[in-house]
Amino acid sequence: MDRTIAIDVNRLCKTYDGHKAVDDLSFQVYAGEIFGLLGPNGAGKSTTLRTLITLLHPTSGTASVLGHDTVREADLVRTLFGYVPQERAIDRFLTGREHLELLGALYHLTKEEATKRIAELLKLVELEEHADRPAKTYSGGMKRKLDIACGLLPNPKILFLDEPTLGLDVQSRLRIWDYIRMLKARGMTVVMTTNYLDEADQLCDRLAIIDCGKVKTIGSPAELKVALGGDIVSLTIKETARLGSLAAAITGQPAIRTVNTTATGLDIRVESAEKALPAILEAANKLGCRLDFIDYHRPRLDDVFIAHTGRSLKDAAPAEETV
Amino acid sequence: MAHYWQEIGALTMRWVRRLSREKFSMLFTLVQPMLFWLIFFGNLFQRAADVQVTQAPNYISFLAAGVVVMTVLNNGLAGGVDLLFDKENGFLERLMSAPIHRSSVILSRFIFVMTITSLQVLVILGIAFLFGVHPATGLLGVAMILVIGMLFGVGLTAISMAMAFSVKSHGDFFSVLGFLSLPMIFLSSALVPLTAMPTWMSVLAQFNPMTWAIDAVRPLILTNWSDALPHVGMAVVVMLIFDALCLYGGAKAFRRAMG
């Protein structure tokens, strides 16, 4: 895989009225990947994104896009990326085509270039039939498609998406995911913020979990889950009196990390279920414990989030979103 | 430079398109000052207003200058509203993340507001004409009225945009707007001359740039150039100072909001 660095955020800090929205944040995005910034509202995702699109000046630290500083070379940086803001960044009185024409002029395309590009984009996002209706008649999914077409108009190397599927129905959501995967297949670098775990899990090559303005952890969804320490095996047995001796027999076996006794069984963190299960079953057999129920699951991104932030994303207090 | 014009052209076109699709609101903003102030207010106070005090042949002809400048006031103060909505729904971010000159969006707004205001002023003078108010200084006088209107309008639009960039919510914006607009009108020479005001009000009205604009427009409509010129000169000076202050504040607010 290409390891060229497309985006470099280095020790970024942004303070509003004494409140640190972003606090010593560093990460890098490789060219051609889908990179996610995952975190609850107010975690600093938007602030980071707005710095990257040159609309915020960092209090300290730097951010660069394809090697160009977002403050010193802001004008140049603005020509390099496309931006898809959160939904509603649409002028309800303009038609879809007029949105694209406006942006065509702002990116200094000639009339011919713009006409050609707009036709391609409308086709890509399947809005050709609706292109000449005012955007106020669009559904949420259609607005989102128009948003994405607008982001793609400059034919950018990098696309920034802010909460691309916020508030969309399931179908539209899957459609948007398809587009994003297709863009990656075309070699585009995609950076997106999200507060949906499944979105980050399914879509992102790598992601940074952000909370309280800091990067808590960074890596591919698979890496992050593995790093958490393998799988969790839960079992319940009939002979609850023998739980103590069963726990003792299992503890210390290869591939077993920790053993927790519950009321009717055990919760065992294992390095890998494949290696640990035979040992567990053998021990149970030897002690004559009949298994009532056994289940194991791989750590989910939710477990990763909890491990690194100490809370579930669902519970994370929707702190005030700063600008 | 070609890029600059391309941006400003496209952005101005957007404002025009929006307006053309809000026909109702266009109709009301256009009709309101004429109907409400000029026709109703003007005729209502025709006999109540003392010709000795207004120094005009009739109240409508006295009021015309006031209504012209009121229109400039209302359009100017509302000039930032669309940018406020753009800011709130993220459209402004979309525009500003494009490789455009930082001033393009704002300039397009100035151009649009000034053009619409000028057209509206012409319509008002046209209606006044139908009521027998014939500008004494002729077409050149009308042109001068437009210049004064624009000079005043630039500052007002700058205030409005500064507010749009600074307020936390559009509720705040409209409260301030509502609070500013009527006192500005009552504490000016729009409805009665300063000489007819209680002293404290006339003192306050002298600090209102609107008074200066009206006092220049009124003789252009009612009397003649030699009467008007000193007022026009003063108005231009006052407006330039007013504009400089407002533009400075506006630029500061814009820079704070846009990094």
Domain limits, CATH 3.40.50.300, in chain A: 5-226
CB atoms within 10 A of CB A250: 22
B119 CB within 8 Å of a chain A CB: no
In the structure encoding, which two tokens stand for residue A153, read together? 């108009």
pLDDT band at B256 (very low <50, low <70, confident <90, very high): confident
Express each pLDDT in B9-61 by its tens digit.
Answer: 999 999 999 988 887 877 777 777 767 788 888 877 877 777 777 777 788 88
**What pLDDT is recorded for position B220?**
96
List the single residue in B with minimal CA-CA distance to A79.
B99
In the structure encoding, which two tokens stand for residue A18, read together? 């004494």
| Mean pLDDT over the full length of chain B | 90
Domain limits, CATH 3.30.70.920, in chain A: 229-298
**What pLDDT is recorded for position A323?**
37
Q: Which of B94, B99, B258 comes nearest A85 by C-beta?
A: B94
Q: Are B221 and B136 in contact (CB under 8 A)?
A: yes
| DSSP code, position B49 | S
Is A81's CB within 8 Å of B97's CB? Answer: yes
Mean pLDDT of A255-273: 80
- Of the candidates B172, B170, B214, which has an alpha carbon nearest to the alpha carbon of residue B192? B214
**What pLDDT is recorded for position A1?**
53
- Of the candidates A30, A20, A83, which has an alpha carbon nearest to the alpha carbon of residue A219? A30
How close is the nearest chain B Cα to the Cα of A83, in Å?
A: 7
Strand-pair partners of A258: A269
Mean pLDDT of B205-219: 95
Q: Fold for domain A229-298?
A: Alpha-Beta Plaits (3.30.70)
Mean pLDDT of B134-150: 95
pLDDT band at A318 (very low <50, low <70, confident <90, very high): very low
pLDDT beyond 80 at A189? yes
How close is the nearest chain B Cα to the Cα of A94, in Å?
A: 7
Q: DSSP readout, A229-286? A: TSEEEEEEES-GGGHHHHHHHHTTSTTEEEEEE-SSEEEEEES-HHHHHHHHHHHHHH
Residues of B in contact with A56 (CB under 8 A): 259
Per CATH, the number for A5-226 is 3.40.50.300
Q: Which helix (H) or strand (E) holds B188?
A: none
Helices A111-124, A140-152: crossing angle, 10 deg rounding: 140
**What pLDDT is recorded for position A2?**
56
pLDDT band at B259 (very low <50, low <70, confident <90, very high): low
Helices (H) and strands (E) in chain B, counts: 13, 0
CB atoms within 10 A of CB A19: 12
**What pLDDT is recorded for position B79?**
92
Is B259's CB within 8 Å of A108's CB? Answer: no
Express each pLDDT in A68-105 by its tens digit.
Answer: 999 999 999 999 999 998 867 899 999 999 999 999 99
